[in-house]
Amino acid sequence: MTEEDEDILFGDEAYVPVTSVYRPKSRSGSIFPDPSHPPNPLDHVSSDPLIGKLHTMRDTLRNCPQLWTELSRNCGDKRALLDEHMCDDKVDVTFAEMNTIVRKSAAVFQSLGVKPGVNVAILGENSARWLMVDHGIQMAGGASAVRGADAPLDELRYIYEQSDSAGIVVVQGPKLLEKLASDASAKGMHRLGLSNEAYGKVHTVILMHREKKTSEELTKMVDKYGLTVRVFADLLEEVQPVTDEQIPVLGRDDLATIVYTRYVA
State the 10-residue block means of pLDDT for the chain, 265 residues long.
Answer: 49 41 43 57 60 76 90 92 93 96 98 96 96 97 95 95 96 95 93 94 95 88 87 96 95 91 69
pLDDT of residue 42: 55
Question: CA 179, 184, 187, 193: dihedral to nearest 10 degrees?
Answer: 140
- With a threshold of 0.85, does the pTM exceed it? no
pLDDT of residue 61: 85
pLDDT of residue 23: 40
Out of 3.20.20.70, 3.10.129.10, 3.40.50.1980, 3.40.50.980, which CATH number does the structure's domain 66-259 have? Answer: 3.40.50.980
> What distance in Å separates the CA atoms of residue 127 and residue 106, rounded to the nearest whole number?
18
Q: Hey, where are the domains in the chain?
A: 3-51, 66-259
State whether the Cα torsion 106-110-116-117 is positive or negative.
negative
CA distances, 260 to each of 45, 127, 144, 163, 198 (Å): 39, 19, 11, 10, 19
